[in-house]
Amino acid sequence: MDNSTETEVSTVLMDIRHLSAAQFTALGVTQMAYVKPVLLNGARAFAIHGADGTPMAVAGNEEVALAAIVQHEMMPTRVH
Protein backbone atom coordinates (compact mmCIF):
# COMPACT_ATOMS: atom_id res chain seq x y z
CA MET A 1 0.00 0.00 0.00
CA ASP A 2 1.35 3.42 -0.97
CA ASN A 3 1.37 5.98 1.89
CA SER A 4 2.63 8.87 -0.23
CA THR A 5 0.59 12.04 -0.39
CA GLU A 6 -0.53 13.20 -3.79
CA THR A 7 0.14 16.85 -4.58
CA GLU A 8 -2.35 18.61 -6.81
CA VAL A 9 -0.82 21.02 -9.30
CA SER A 10 -3.01 23.62 -10.92
CA THR A 11 -2.21 25.61 -14.02
CA VAL A 12 -3.19 29.24 -14.35
CA LEU A 13 -3.18 30.81 -17.78
CA MET A 14 -2.49 34.54 -18.03
CA ASP A 15 -2.25 36.95 -20.90
CA ILE A 16 1.10 38.59 -20.09
CA ARG A 17 0.11 41.67 -22.07
CA HIS A 18 -2.34 42.58 -19.31
CA LEU A 19 -0.37 41.86 -16.14
CA SER A 20 -0.18 44.39 -13.36
CA ALA A 21 3.27 45.41 -12.09
CA ALA A 22 2.80 43.18 -9.05
CA GLN A 23 1.81 40.17 -11.18
CA PHE A 24 4.77 40.70 -13.51
CA THR A 25 7.10 40.91 -10.54
CA ALA A 26 5.67 37.67 -9.20
CA LEU A 27 6.71 35.93 -12.43
CA GLY A 28 10.35 36.38 -11.53
CA VAL A 29 11.97 39.75 -12.09
CA THR A 30 15.42 38.22 -11.82
CA GLN A 31 14.57 35.49 -14.31
CA MET A 32 13.04 37.47 -17.17
CA ALA A 33 14.25 40.34 -19.31
CA TYR A 34 12.81 42.03 -22.35
CA VAL A 35 14.26 43.60 -25.46
CA LYS A 36 12.86 46.84 -26.79
CA PRO A 37 13.92 48.63 -29.99
CA VAL A 38 15.16 52.17 -29.25
CA LEU A 39 16.99 55.04 -30.93
CA LEU A 40 20.36 55.80 -29.35
CA ASN A 41 22.22 58.83 -30.69
CA GLY A 42 20.11 58.60 -33.84
CA ALA A 43 20.91 54.93 -34.48
CA ARG A 44 18.64 51.93 -34.00
CA ALA A 45 19.60 49.84 -30.96
CA PHE A 46 17.99 47.30 -28.65
CA ALA A 47 17.58 48.07 -24.97
CA ILE A 48 17.56 45.22 -22.46
CA HIS A 49 15.37 45.73 -19.40
CA GLY A 50 14.60 43.58 -16.38
CA ALA A 51 11.00 42.40 -16.05
CA ASP A 52 10.35 45.33 -13.70
CA GLY A 53 11.58 47.83 -16.30
CA THR A 54 15.05 48.36 -14.87
CA PRO A 55 17.48 49.25 -17.71
CA MET A 56 20.25 46.67 -17.92
CA ALA A 57 22.12 47.14 -21.21
CA VAL A 58 21.95 48.21 -24.86
CA ALA A 59 22.99 46.10 -27.84
CA GLY A 60 23.53 47.01 -31.47
CA ASN A 61 21.21 44.31 -32.77
CA GLU A 62 18.36 42.18 -31.48
CA GLU A 63 20.18 38.86 -31.76
CA VAL A 64 23.01 40.08 -29.54
CA ALA A 65 20.53 41.46 -27.01
CA LEU A 66 18.65 38.15 -26.83
CA ALA A 67 21.91 36.18 -26.59
CA ALA A 68 23.11 38.39 -23.71
CA ILE A 69 19.91 37.67 -21.80
CA VAL A 70 20.26 33.92 -22.32
CA GLN A 71 23.96 34.06 -21.40
CA HIS A 72 22.94 35.52 -18.04
CA GLU A 73 20.52 32.62 -17.50
CA MET A 74 17.40 34.71 -17.98
CA MET A 75 14.38 34.21 -20.23
CA PRO A 76 14.19 36.76 -23.07
CA THR A 77 10.92 38.40 -24.06
CA ARG A 78 10.30 40.82 -26.93
CA VAL A 79 8.35 44.04 -26.44
CA HIS A 80 7.04 45.95 -29.45
| pLDDT digit string (tens) for the chain, length 80 residues | 555 566 676 676 667 678 777 776 666 666 889 999 999 999 999 999 988 788 999 999 999 999 999 999 898 877 76
Note if the pTM is more than 0.95.
no
Could you tell me the residue ranges of all domains in the chain? 30-78
Q: End-to-end alpha-carbon separation of the chain, Å?
A: 55
Element (H, E) at 69: helix 62-71
CA-to-CA dists, residue 50 to 56, 58, 66, angstroms: 7, 12, 12
Contacts of residue 36, Cβ cutoff 8 Å, sequence gap at least 6: 46, 47, 49, 79
**Are residues 33 and 76 in contact, defined by beta-carbon separation less than 8 angstroms?**
yes
One-letter amino acid of 25: T
